[in-house]
Structure 1
Amino acid sequence: MENQSKIGVLLVNLGTPDEATTKGVKRFLSQFLHDKRVVDMNRWLWCPLLHGVILPVRAPKVAKLYQGVWMKEGSPLLVHAKRQVAKLKQALSIPVELGMTYGNPSLLVGMQSLLQQGVQKVIVLPLYPQYSATTTAAVVDGLSVAFKQMTVVPSFEVVGDYHDHPLYIKALADSVRRSWQQRGRGEYLLCSYHGIPKRFADNGDIYPQHCAKTTDLLAKELGLKSHQIGMTYQSRFGREQWLQPYTDKTLQQLPKQGIKQLDILTPAFSADCLETLEEISVECSEVFILAGGEKFNYISCLNDSDAHIKLMASLVNDRIPYSD
């Protein structure tokens, strides 16, 4: 391998509060919701609304939800991310560090740590299988801000997406098969993706096409017909229209269509977090059961599974130059 010791990996995810308190959540949400990639409203309108209404009302509620899923080692997203870094480092035998777009450890801290290890080229791997300007592009924005604070800027390459990568589809399929084997097979498999405002897609964001492609490939891998699998979007925020169909609305309708036993997974999330452990596993389960459903089976994210690490290693190795 050429210049093996000078290549490193920055594993990137969205981020998480440092602590499950109102103060910690407010600090995190403030940074997250200030990003124009996430909320593109006029700043003169948005900032007073954010700090005067949204954060004071939402932060205590979200903090309470975080307390319900917080792990002994910390936030689930951070715990899983650290495990992913450790396993990927072992698999690749090159430096691997973690950087979050929002919160800690920051992209700057991750980059600086790699440079301190002698890394000259960084392969940036945002753990967003499906590209969106709200996630992947936000990572690139964050890197440009970090580079402004660095004396030495390394060369870098960003993995834009891997929504149709064979190892990604296989890892998802294997997680579904494992769930079927352990807990029985439901009548329907629902793929719930994080939503974005419909306006973003109308303006050219390719995220919905990537989600549809992932779902289609997963269906083929599992041998499922169109009436056995579907896709929806979760986690909408605010009053404008987001990508549809909505996960919660769909869960209310499925029992009426005769689907009483459901398997659900979240292919856009690379690690379990508040949106999967609380919103899907708890809130959406209640919605489904109240609507007449009988069995709701949440299939965990890929997290630090061997299949997920194998995928990450492949994505990195594909971008490392080899000499004869």
Structure 2
Amino acid sequence: MKGVLLLNLGSPDSPTPKDVKPYLDEFLMDERVIDVNKVLRNILVRGIILQTRPKKSAEAYSKIWWEEGSPLIVISERFTEKLKKHTSMPVALGMRYGSMTIKNAMQELKDKGVDDVMIVPLYPHYAMSSFETVVVKAMDVQKEFFPNMKLTTLPAFYKNPDYIKVLSESISEALEGFDYDHILFSYHGIPERHIKKSDPTKYHCKIDGSCCFTNSVAHHTCYRHQVYDTTELVKAELGLIEEKVSSSFQSRLAGDPWLKPYTDYEFERFPKEGKKKLAVITPAFVSDCLETLEEIAMEGKEQFLEAGGTDYIHIPCLNDRDSWVELMAKWVNNWERTGTLPHS
């Protein structure tokens, strides 16, 4: 029997340092998030970061926490419930980090008789620290606890024409009536070395401004290429003016070169160039979360306005938008009928 396993990042159980600390420990000790040797990672995470970060992160989570719980979890659950109404297959939701474990989600499917699972990483783009880590974790859990369960993974869908259409429609609706000077596509940042580590050719990815636009097999696992592709495809779909659109990268750790340009630097730069009415979209995420609701919708707005901007909107993620649910249902139901997956 076939079933669907939706996978996302996860969240602390509450916006308190007590619950944030073990969540951050699990997250930051992941070798695909902080990819240094285990001894150094242990010193960095448990000896330094976790001494101060839980309190700061808890304060940030408190700003965006909903009455029902973590926005990421609540939105993911709403999406799951809507998807269930569009398919006859059992659907379960699991998180890479936190108490909503992948193991529990797989057990839920097994208890319903499922032995053939379509894994759906809820990330449009491939990256070590998002797409790859949830897939590897699911495979490890399957191997250890569910050896008779077959897994099939939905590929990164960053340039799927149907996805681009749904994403573009959501952006168009949000921009209605907003006389913007610029639209910024802000993607989650990753260390530059992750790009090179994910390059199967070991020579193509140079992060030199041209490699992302030179065809290569490396693009199948190149986050930088894929996010720029998403921006270009949405720009073409909506007929956006070249000079009014750009991409940037948010969230980074000090001490390492991360993908540039940095979103917060762009917030400072735009008003000086006369771009005082800004719309920001965060397409690395399909569900609004701490990185979109606090870092972009709140902190980003404040920074932009303090730098001299006058108008600012954060365009919501796809969340549980009906057209997004229907597209996912199309993909999973086609897999159930034919065993085939959508093209990226």
**Shorter-normalised TM range:** over 0.9
- Please provide the CA RMSD for this pair: 1.4
Select 2:195's aligned residue among 189, 193, 201: 201
Q: 1:14 and 1:212 mapped to 2: Cα distance?
A: 22
The structure-2 alpha-carbon separation of the partners of 1:151 and 1:271, relative to structure 1 and needing over 3 Å to count, comes to closer
Alignment check: 8 A CA contact 1:136 1:160 kept:
no
| Equivalent-residue separation in structure 2 for 1:247 and 1:151 (angstroms) | 42
Q: CA–CA distance in 2 between the matches of 1:226 and 1:104?
A: 44
Give 1:72's aligned residue: 67
Q: 1:104/1:256 Cα in 2 relative to 1: closer, same or farther (>3 Å)?
A: same
Counterpart CA distance in 2 for 1:172 and 1:104 is 30
Deviation beyond 6 Å, 4+ runs, structure 1: none
C-alpha distance in 2 between matches for 1:157 and 1:239: 37
Distance 1:65 1:127 in 2: 23
Q: For residue 43 of structure 2, what is the aligned residue in structure 1?
A: 48
SS in 2 for 1:157: strand
- Partner of 2:336: helix, strand, or coil? coil
Q: Which among 78, 85, 93 is matched to residue 88 of structure 2? A: 93
Aligned to 1:170: 165
Q: Within the alignment, does 1:117 sit opposite 2:133 as a pair?
A: no
Matched, 1:251 2:267: yes
* In 1: Cα distance, 2:49 partner to 2:191 partner: 18
Residue type at the aligned position of 2:89: I
TM-score (norm 1): 0.94
Q: Are 1:185 and 1:263, in contact at CA under 8 Å, matched by a contact in 2? A: no
Q: How far apart are the structure 2 equivalents of 1:176 and 1:198? A: 28
Shift of the alpha carbon at 1:305?
A: 0.3
How far apart, CA to CA, are the structure 1 residues paired with 2:62 and 2:99?
Answer: 18
Residue 148 (structure 1) shift: 4.0
Question: Alignment partner of 1:59: what SS?
Answer: helix
The range that moved more, 42-51 or 21-30, is 42-51
The percent of aligned pairs where both chains have the same amino acid is 41
TM-score with structure 2 setting the length: 0.89
1:265–1:300 Cα contact (<8 Å) kept: yes
How far 1:151 moved relative to its partner? 4.6
Give the alignment of 1:1-324 within 5 angstroms. 6-181=1-176, 183-203=177-197, 204=199, 205-322=221-338
Q: For this pair of structures, how many residues does the alignment match?
A: 317
Whether the 8 Å contact between 1:187 and 1:262 is mirrored in structure 2 is yes
What secondary structure is seen at the aligned counterpart in 1 of 2:4? strand
Contact 1:255 1:288 in 2 (8 A): yes
Gaps of at least 5 residues in structure 2 are: 200-220, 340-344
**Structure-2 separation of matches of 1:201 and 1:237:** 16
Report the Cα distance in structure 1 between the residues aligned to 2:259 and 2:159, rounded to whole angstroms. 20
**Equivalent residues of 2:281, 2:317 under 8 A apart:** yes
Contact 1:77 1:273 in 2 (8 A): yes
Contact 2:92 2:105 in 1 (8 A): yes
- Change over 3 Å in CA distance of 1:184–1:251 after alignment to 2: same
Match of 1:3 in 2: none
2:46 is matched by which residue type in structure 1?
H
Tell me, in whole angstroms, the C-alpha distance in 2 between the residues paired with 1:172 and 1:207. Answer: 18
Matched letter for residue 28 of structure 1? Y
Shift of 1:115: 0.8
